[in-house]
Structure 1
Amino acid sequence: MSTSTATADTFGSPAPVLSFSPVVLAVPGRPVDLQARVSAPATGTGLPVILLSHGHGPSNNLSSLNGYAPLANFWAAHGFVVVQPTHLTSRTLSHLVADAPGAPFFWRSRAEDMTHILDRLDVIENAVPQLAGRIDHTKVAIAGHSLGGFTAGLLLGARLTDPDNGEEANLIEPRIKAGVLLAAPGRGDVLNGPMADQLPIFRTIDFSTMTTPTLVVAGDKDDSRHFTDMGPDWHADPYTLGPSPKTLLTLFDAGHALGGIPGYDAAETTDESPERVAAVGRLTAAYLRTQLHPGDNAWQTARAALATDPDPVGRVEAK
């Protein structure tokens, strides 16, 4: 039995998905309103929440509330409410925020977006048709891809030195109970590529304080030479350097898009594989379901299927 079939059996049939956007939140001091897409299953109550932080890719719209449909749709179809903000880094906003404080990477604002969402989760829930009363506000996870993985790491407890004032920045969000880092950046002391000087915040990242349970997903062909010559292992650093409990999923033959998670049929995907994307959706959902619902064996079942698959999509290790 293949990994995909065995892991799919953990979840059963997908539910129809309701997707609503934009939900608009006015945030004092933010140069534009915070907009988000909310995707949820059409049925069910006590639904856990996944906050999804987009990356900083070359597309105009994938790095916004309009991206990451392959993951958002799968997670929502299998029992999660997915909230996707458009961060100020999005190219859809570049003409509005180019001169705003924190430009162009808005590292602090990106993390604060998620805190604003949690502060007003009741407002969001009531703004989305047919969602009111169906969310479990105590079961919240975060996921992020690439720069979004960096954002998620800060909310999970990683720290850095603020380049503007030299002080340690601690943005941990205690309402977030688990995380998934997808092709996230690694340690800063190995940065020697052409992009390194543009992101000084990467140089001081400290994963030793990232105490929240986290699944780190890395592709074994994700060689980010524009940042470092360390090779694909760089993206495993949040696992390697983070304290337990941490889990690492290494995907075989996967590049930075992990098969195409930023969007369906995206031209920027160098390793397009619908099967890999489906596996990422299933494995991450299984991990988060077990983390947010103690006693649920979805993750153990998914790991067992992966370990016995004759042609596995990747491997898992944990500490």
Structure 2
Amino acid sequence: MQVIPANRLAPTLVLICLSAAAMAEEPPAAYKTAWGPHGVHVIENHVLPAEPGQRSLRARIAYPDAAGPFPLVVYSHGFNCYRESYAGLTDHWASHGYAVVLPEHPDCPTSEGRMSPEDIRNLLYIRISDVGRVLDALFAPGQDIPGLTGRIDYGRKAIAGHSFGGMIAQVIWGQPLKDLHSTESVSYALGFDAAIVMSGVGEMEQMAEGSFDRVPGPVLVTGGTLDLGNIGGPTIYPWEWRMSAFGLTPPGDKYSVVLEEGDHYLGGLICRDDRGGPDNSGGAHDADGLEILAGVTTAFLDAWLNNDSDAKRFFEDFEANAAITAGRARFAQK
């Protein structure tokens, strides 16, 4: 088990203003962009229980060096992405008091075994099942996760994901899919309390008719103006396509963050270190973009899982708070 100390990063920005009067007199301040007050324990490959015939499923688990109980975040990585490549976000959340579990989907480069043609065809549903297996394992009586057993608050949980994992988050949050054998729609919602969709997806053939109309709030959707969409065919979608979980859904606790000149991989800081940047080979780390997302996503979790008053206030005037990014990001709410 790896332990990351609480003082890994020096604080760089202060919390959101603590009173309405202060907010009126001073420019908005960033929210928890610095590493939090807790050290972080990391279990890189916890093996989840498997029923007969199920594949072995590993998960990366990050949690605070604190007493708990901790709200839960389940994070679905992007296609062909490494779980540990999201540590800049997920361990940041853990340092602020969250237990974060990242299942290793079969398309992860470190996954044991190779996918069969049938696995590839059914990958969407396998990934949905993986998230369900995480919940089953954490809720199962007698399940032991060293250092974490009995310290998760199952009544407060969020689903999050990036790219293909963003689609998983959309579906598990409540966006229905077409039934494979009829014209009916099928919900795979798993009772989460909030959702974070990073570089998600727009209309796809697997989605039920009018599925975006049924995406509830609270949901935070993030993307970037260089983050074009591609689902394996010749069509390239504009960056707005990836923001559909905000743009195409009805109002009500919906929030979006768009990074100007932000790409799909934050220059190699998430998913894979050999992607992103001007020539899509990594090495052009978008540290500012990651800092913005770390702060806003932490505020979102604090607001909707902890009912934190400062975080709630941050989202009451969300669009104005984009000023903290000095023009780097656009914030929107509806």
State the TM-score, normalizing by the size of structure 1: 0.82
Q: Which amino acid aligns with 2:264?
A: H
Q: Which has the higher contact order (CA 8 A, sep 6+)?
A: 1
Match of 1:215 among 220, 232, 236: 220
Q: 2:131 maps to what in 1?
A: 114
Which structure has the larger Rg? 2
CA–CA separation in structure 2 for the residues paired with 1:151 and 1:219 = 19
Give the secondary structure class of the aligned counterpart of 1:287.
helix
Give the superposed CA RMSD: 2.9
CA–CA separation in structure 2 for the residues paired with 1:156 and 1:263 = 22
CA apart distance, 1:294: 2.3
Q: 1:196 maps to what in 2?
A: none
Is 1:173 aligned to 2:190, yes or no?
Answer: yes
CA–CA separation in structure 2 for the residues paired with 1:242 and 1:229 = 22
209-218 or 22-31: which moved more?
22-31
Is 1:154 aligned to 2:171, yes or no?
Answer: yes
**Contact 1:141–1:178 (8 Å) recurs in 2:** yes
Percent identity of paired positions between Structure 1 and Structure 2 = 26
CA apart distance, 1:311: 1.2
CA apart distance, 1:131: 1.9
Change in CA separation of 1:245 and 1:80 when aligned onto 2, cut-off 3 Å: same
Q: 1:17 maps to what in 2?
A: 40
CA–CA separation in structure 1 for the residues paired with 2:253 and 2:287 = 30
CA apart distance, 1:94: 7.3
Change in CA separation of 1:159 and 1:13 when aligned onto 2, cut-off 3 Å: closer
CA–CA separation in structure 1 for the residues paired with 2:37 and 2:92 = 8
CA–CA separation in structure 1 for the residues paired with 2:270 and 2:293 = 12
Is 1:41 aligned to 2:57, yes or no?
Answer: no
Q: 1:250 maps to what in 2?
A: 258
State the TM-score, normalizing by the size of structure 2: 0.79
Q: 1:293 maps to what in 2?
A: 306
In the TM superposition, 1:1-319 aligns within 5 A as 5=14, 6-8=29-31, 13-28=36-51, 31-57=54-80, 63-93=81-111, 95-99=113-117, 101-104=118-121, 106-122=123-139, 127-163=144-180, 167-174=184-191, 176-188=192-204, 200-201=205-206, 206-224=211-229, 228-243=235-250, 244-262=252-270, 266-270=273-277, 272-301=285-314, 303=318, 306-309=321-324, 311-319=326-334
Q: Which amino acid aligns with 2:200?
A: A
CA apart distance, 1:187: 1.8
CA–CA separation in structure 2 for the residues paired with 1:217 and 1:93 = 27
CA apart distance, 1:124: 9.8
Listed one character per residue, the Cα deviations across residues 167-220 of structure 1 (whole Å, up to 9, x for unaligned) are: 42310111x1000000011123xxxxxxxxxxx536968221112411010112
Give the secondary structure class of the aligned counterpart of 2:120.
coil
66-75 or 294-303: which moved more?
294-303
Q: Which amino acid aligns with 1:142?
A: I
CA apart distance, 1:144: 0.3
Q: Which amino acid aligns with 1:17?
A: V
Structure 1 stretches of 5 or more lacking a match? 58-62, 189-199
Change in CA separation of 1:260 and 1:76 when aligned onto 2, cut-off 3 Å: farther
The count of corresponding residues between Structure 1 and Structure 2 is 298
CA–CA separation in structure 2 for the residues paired with 1:183 and 1:310 = 19
CA–CA separation in structure 2 for the residues paired with 1:124 and 1:273 = 42
Give the secondary structure class of the aligned counterpart of 2:114.
helix
64-73 or 229-238: which moved more?
64-73
CA–CA separation in structure 1 for the residues paired with 2:207 and 2:152 = 34
Change in CA separation of 1:133 and 1:238 when aligned onto 2, cut-off 3 Å: same
CA–CA separation in structure 2 for the residues paired with 1:308 and 1:65 = 31
Change in CA separation of 1:275 and 1:30 when aligned onto 2, cut-off 3 Å: farther
Give the secondary structure class of the aligned counterpart of 2:166.
helix
